[in-house]
Amino acid sequence: MPCRLCLDDDYDNICPFCELVRFQTQEILNAYSSGEVTPDEMRFFVPELSFTFERDHRTRRLFNIAYEIVGKAIAMRNQEIFTKRRSSSIDMEVMTSPYMLPIKKVTALRNLSEERIREFDKVLSKARIARLEGETIYLEEMAQRLVSDISEGTDLSAESYQHEVKEMKGILCVILADTLIRKWLDGDKESGRPRKYVAYMKCLSRFMKKYWEEKQMPKEISIRNFFKPSDLQISSIQAEKTFAEDVLGLGPGQSNIIQSFREKPDGKIILLLKGPVVRFLERIRERWRERPRER
């Protein structure tokens, strides 16, 4: 039977590549929720994932809702419409959700049926991003962290601010992907599977597996050893076109994960991964190796 997550190959449960996808995802979440300084290997890699939901029509709406909620909170945190309430030892709701936002301010939720809004609310609540009560959206733990991580009073055109925003988009994708993956593997297919997130993280798993024994991972890899058209569960021609647009930036003009590519005399395509991506994968490999010692 196929892998339960990527739906490819013959495995009894989860294929080795998807085991690494889940491990990478959990390591990122652990780093961002620990309360400690996030390692640079994570901070400079996570922005590379910001496209995985935006360019996936099946998950784009969910991402847009989550992103708008967090974005509105950031923009309005010093205005009356976005209120920080005082915590008290007897008001548990206030302690867990000190951030509020009127639902009417979230344009991505307009013109949606109540049923669809409830579906999105289930995912956002499970992801600890936000929950809906009546006409009010309460930001939960993960969204609160994202809001607090964006600098106040920063030059909006500054490169550092632009990186913070892209990093925020990336971690939002990871949070949502983790939730959707858990729901999917638990048999809840209603919210769907984060297809592109799984596909491209699987590519990174494939890269790690190939260079697992190398002391220092190289940056180059043949496209054949990195990406398989079946990863996207669509026709080969469409998959190659999608990969070229999503990762190589052919069309949109913005590459993700890949720095550049070249063609060898024999026609083989060689990909050059971005430095932060390789450093992230080296860290993940080391963390995977440490697991027996931690147990």
Is 13 part of any domain? no
In terms of domains, do 143 and 49 share one? yes
Question: Of 155, 185, 215, which closes a domain?
Answer: 185
> What is the reported pLDDT for 223?
95
- pLDDT, residue 150, reads 82
Q: Over the stretch 49-82, which tens digit does the pLDDT of each residue have?
A: 999 998 898 899 999 999 999 998 888 764 544 4
Range(s) of the domain holding residue 246? 194-294
Residue 178 and residue 248 share a domain: no
DSSP class of residue 91 equals: B
Is 51 inside any structural domain?
Answer: yes
The residue among 261, 263, 280, 259 whose CA lies nearest residue 205 is 280
Classify burial at 231, counting beta carbons within 10 Å of its beta carbon; exposed 0-12, middle 13-18, buried 19 or more.
buried
Last residue of a domain, one of 135, 158, 185: 185
- The whole-number pLDDT of residue 86 equals 43
Same domain assignment for residues 51 and 87: yes
Identify whether residues 80 and 202 lie together within a single domain: no
Q: Are residues 174 and 201 in the same domain?
A: no
Domain end, chosen from 125, 153, 185, is at: 185
In a domain, 107, yes or no: yes
Residues whose CB is less than 8 angstroms from the CB of residue 130 and which lie 6 or more positions away in sequence, other chains included: 66, 69, 101, 124, 137, 138, 139, 140, 143
C-alpha distance from residue 257 to each of 60, 111, 193 (Å)? 19, 35, 21
Residue recorded with tokens 């048999």: 187
| 17: in domain | no
- The pLDDT of residue 291: 82
Q: Are residues 180 and 208 in the same domain?
A: no
- From the number of C-beta atoms within 10 Å of its C-beta (0-12, 13-18, 19+), residue 224 rates as exposed
Instruction: Report the CATH number that the domain containing residue 255 is assigned in CATH.
Output: 1.10.10
* pLDDT on residue 63: 96
In this structure, the answer to whether residues 210 and 276 fall within a common structural domain is yes
pLDDT number for residue 77: 63
Q: What is the pLDDT of residue 97?
A: 43
Residue 205 · residue 8 · CB < 8 Å: no
Q: What percent of the chain has pLDDT over 70?
A: 90
Amino acid type, 161: Y
Do 148 and 217 lie in one domain? The reply is: no
- 145-169 tens-digit pLDDT: 998 888 776 666 778 888 899 999 9
- Judge if 153 and 206 occupy the same domain: no
Helix segments in 104-262, DSSP class H: 114-126, 141-149, 159-185, 195-210, 223-226, 236-246
- Predicted confidence at residue 190, as pLDDT, reads 87
Spell out, as residue ranges, where the chain has pLDDT lower than 70.
Answer: 77-98, 153-156, 292-295
* pTM for this predicted structure: 0.88
Indicate whether 4 belongs to any domain. Answer: no
Rounded CA-CA distance 184/210 in Å is 28
Amino acid 79: pLDDT: 55
- Identify whether the C-beta of residue 282 lies closer than 8 Å to the C-beta of residue 272: no
Can you tell me the distance from the alpha carbon of 293 to that of 295, in angstroms, rounded to the nearest whole number? 5
Tell me how many domains the chain contains: 2
